[in-house]
Chains A and B, each alone.
Chain A
Amino acid sequence: MANSTAVKRLVLRLLLMVVVMFAFGFALVPIYDVMCKAFGINGKTAGQYEGEQVVDPTRQVRVQFLSTNAIDMVWEFYPKGDQLVVNPGAVNEMVFVVSNPTDHPMTAQAVPSISPAEAAQYFHKTECFCFTQQVLQPGQSLEMPMRFIVDRDMPKDVKHLTLAYTLFDITARHPPVAANAGKDETRLAR
């Protein structure tokens, strides 16, 4: 038969390919994240926005606010208004209310999502409760401001945006520690 060193070398190469493809499967996770942010797939937004923009008074965009509780989440969670009509470039604020009706402290994470997805990259949050986790003591309520800028460069055909938050109970995974409510974890770029 053909010499066995050739077989051995080939097998090692193929095994290397297997390892590379296994790693590639995991590499798809950050690649997907980059693609999501670049193209706004799934309406994912970037992290905290540091820039400033000049207000465009000639254009108006309707921004709608939704809140959903994941199935086991018993908190009250809602925006104080249904929608805002804003000028691109301007800093706007919407206040969200949360309260913990249970008799034990809980940790929550809000996950934002923008529709239409193409507009997600033009929606900048300068301050958002979704950057951190929230810890509420029994019976505690909290008003959380969310500030944002709609980019001047957003395509002209986008007339309205929807910002939807889903609130998840992550108490089991991140047990609340009373002292550091809302500050213990810096959640980056959501």
Chain B
Amino acid sequence: MSAVIDDHGPAQDHAHGPAKGLMRWVLTTNHKDIGTLYLWFSFCMFLLGGSFAMVIRAELFQPGLQIVAPAFFNQMTTMHGLIMVFGAVMPAFVGLANWMIPLMIGAPDMALPRMNNFSFWLLPAAFALLISTLFMAGGGPNFGWTFYAPLSTTYAPESVTYFIFAIHLMGISSIMGAINVIATILNLRAPGMTLMKMPLFVWTWLITAFLLIAVMPVLAGVVTMMLMDIHFGTSFFSAAGGGDPVLFQHVFWFFGHPEVYIMILPAFGAISAIIPTFSRKPLFGYTSMVYATASIAFLSFIVWAHHMFVVGIPLVGELFFMYATLLIAVPTGVKVFNWVSTMWQGSLTFETPMLFAVAFVILFTIGGFSGLMLAIAPADFQYHDTYFVVAHFHYVLVPGAIFGIFASTYYWLPKWTGHMYDETLGKLHFWLSFVGMNLTFFPMHFVGLAGMPRRVPDYNLQFADFNMVSSIGGFMFGTTQLLFLFIVIKCIRGGPKAPAKPWDGAEGLEWSVPSPAPYHTFTTPPEIK
């Protein structure tokens, strides 16, 4: 690792622009190139994970087994979860961080450009490994993205070892990305850019990066324990040898709960830039937003067992985790109230980024409400592992993480490409996504409350109608994303010339450089007043 750090001198290739051809992308250490790579990779994974979701929705379109066998269905739910979490959402935010953080804090590049290149190129390797398991004898991972032992150890298919290595590679990549973000933010800010002057996107990413460093090693630890149980005769998770399968869940969720905030906090930051821009009014409470983010990050470490209310935790434990979970509603509420107050008496316009941002606030809040219901332990005995939970986390992750990424993309696309995107098509993309998403996930609340467990390939007739609605919504949402691809390509290839600052209400250093942003920016630090 130290070799990577030693010769990271970012000043060495100032003079020349991007190299030509394929090697530009393989060897690049430029934060904009790497950001672009991350974003394209993430989009590919989004389409792949999405196509797995389409298989799931197609099988669930009607009761009975039609398209895939239950064993393959389980591989689809598992891979959909793993790819969306580790392949689509997390790399997309790392891509946005790469592109925008140096531009926002007036830095010439990321602090560790070579490590940056390496951390990206680990990802295609990791996912190639993960996806290849689908073609192995016995199939790919089929134990859910939460891979509870002993289903993922004693009872796992052979390919589980490849799955473990893939997770290790993703973890190393994320950790290196996080170290890079922290090093950049703490060391490369332009003179005068104090911490409390940083844009909220930078703040939320700084906190996210610390979360990553705190929990990705724990994930690495838990999969290492699995590996040892499977191949080296240890018994971390096997009761027969003195271990405990429930221990797996504790360690996993110690990683897993902060992980969900890793997927949402950067979106909070982006939305906190977009809403003030299109409200033409400063963010209502910058300081309280920073503290709210920090509180959410802290609380995320002491609520993990709310994923495990039915494993048989003693009453005291159950009460503690219920109260701690309820507490998270307070800083989250502060954020929502802040966004609403920012819009209040603004001068609002609804370009595509703002549409996605407003939908983000509304739908994420709905996901928050169902989260509040799930926090109530006795009620969770009914909700746990039903479609109500599926509805809940898709309401926080699709309009939360994914809409946050869409909003950010439309918002900064003019800066990246130098062209304005097609506003009509952008709005069409929004409305189709909005309707499709709600059509898919809102009925899941109903079937969940009516008693449909999650991760089942077939169901009783009483759930048939809503499942069909969900499937139709799912196909609609899925197809719509091809329109997004078209819009982005169209914008790269041409379109109205974008000025340095295409949004009249926007603030921040990124708008002080021309559009498209030159290959090298802020080689001399900007002046911050």
A–B interface present (Cβ within 8 A) = yes
Min CB distance B131 to A, Å, is: 26
Once the chains bind, are A70 and B240 in contact (CB under 8 Å)?
Answer: yes
CA distance A21 to B14 in the complex (A): 37
Contact partner of A21 among B217, B225, B313, B317, CB < 8 A?
Answer: B217
Once the chains bind, are A32 and B247 in contact (CB under 8 Å)?
Answer: yes
Chain A minimum-CB-distance residue to B108:
A1
Interface contacts (Cβ under 8 Å), in number, total 114
CA distance A145 to B256 in the complex (A): 43
In the complex, A179 has a CB within 8 A of chain B: no
In the complex, B21 has a CB within 8 A of chain A: no
**Number of interface residues, chain B, beta carbon within 8 A:** 47
CB-CB under 8 A from A6, the residues of chain B are 187
Once the chains bind, are A25 and B10 in contact (CB under 8 Å)?
Answer: no
CA distance A41 to B305 in the complex (A): 13
Min CB distance A169 to B, Å, is: 8
In the complex, A40 has a CB within 8 A of chain B: yes
CB-CB under 8 A from B250, the residues of chain A are 28, 32
CA distance A19 to B225 in the complex (A): 16
Contact partner of B317 among A8, A39, A169, A187, CB < 8 A?
Answer: A39
In the complex, A168 has a CB within 8 A of chain B: yes
Mask, A126-151, CB within 8 Å of B = 1, is 00000000000000000000000000
In the complex, B241 has a CB within 8 A of chain A: yes
CB-CB under 8 A from B215, the residues of chain A are 21
In the complex, A14 has a CB within 8 A of chain B: yes
Once the chains bind, are B251 and A8 in contact (CB under 8 Å)?
Answer: no
Once the chains bind, are B112 and A41 in contact (CB under 8 Å)?
Answer: no
In the complex, A117 has a CB within 8 A of chain B: yes
Once the chains bind, are A111 and B222 in contact (CB under 8 Å)?
Answer: no
Which of B23-31, B117-125, B178-186 sits within the interface?
Answer: B178-186
A-B contact pairs, 8 of them (CB 8 A): A1-B10, A10-B183, A11-B5, A25-B218, A25-B225, A26-B225, A118-B314, A170-B241
Q: Knowing that A7-B111, A26-B221, A26-B225 are A-B contacts, what are 7 other residue pairs whose CB atoms are under 8 Å apart, sorted by A's residue number? A: A1-B10, A18-B175, A25-B220, A109-B241, A111-B239, A118-B315, A170-B241
- Given contacts A14-B182, A118-B315, whether A21 and B236 have CB atoms under 8 Å apart is no
Once the chains bind, are B254 and A28 in contact (CB under 8 Å)?
Answer: yes
CB-CB under 8 A from B9, the residues of chain A are 4
Contact partner of B222 among A1, A15, A25, A168, CB < 8 A?
Answer: A25
Chain B minimum-CB-distance residue to A36:
B244
Once the chains bind, are A11 and B316 in contact (CB under 8 Å)?
Answer: no
Min CB distance B192 to A, Å, is: 14
Interfacial residues of chain B within 301-321, with CB under 8 A of chain A in the complex: 312-317
CA distance A70 to B155 in the complex (A): 13
In the complex, A102 has a CB within 8 A of chain B: no
In the complex, A190 has a CB within 8 A of chain B: yes
In the complex, B242 has a CB within 8 A of chain A: yes
Mask, B214-249, CB within 8 Å of A = 1, is 111111111001000000010010011110101100
In the complex, B213 has a CB within 8 A of chain A: yes
Once the chains bind, are A168 and B316 in contact (CB under 8 Å)?
Answer: no
Of A29, A166, A169, A173, the most chain B CB neighbours within 10 A belong to A29
Chain B minimum-CB-distance residue to A8:
B5
Contact partner of B236 among A14, A29, A41, A44, CB < 8 A?
Answer: A29
CB-CB under 8 A from B5, the residues of chain A are 7-8, 11
CB-CB under 8 A from B246, the residues of chain A are 41-42
Min CB distance B445 to A, Å, is: 32
Once the chains bind, are A7 and B239 in contact (CB under 8 Å)?
Answer: no
CB-CB under 8 A from A168, the residues of chain B are 239-240
CA distance A22 to B218 in the complex (A): 5
Interfacial residues of chain A within 11-58, with CB under 8 A of chain B in the complex: 11, 14-15, 17-19, 21-26, 28-29, 32, 36, 39-44
In the complex, B8 has a CB within 8 A of chain A: yes
CA distance A181 to B390 in the complex (A): 51
Contact partner of A7 among B178, B187, B220, CB < 8 A?
Answer: B187
Once the chains bind, are B183 and A117 in contact (CB under 8 Å)?
Answer: no
Contact partner of A28 among B8, B108, B251, CB < 8 A?
Answer: B251
CA distance A19 to B244 in the complex (A): 24
The 7 closest A-B CB pairs, nearest first, are A25-B221, A168-B240, A22-B217, A21-B217, A25-B218, A2-B187, A14-B179
CB-CB under 8 A from A43, the residues of chain B are 312
CA distance A66 to B183 in the complex (A): 57
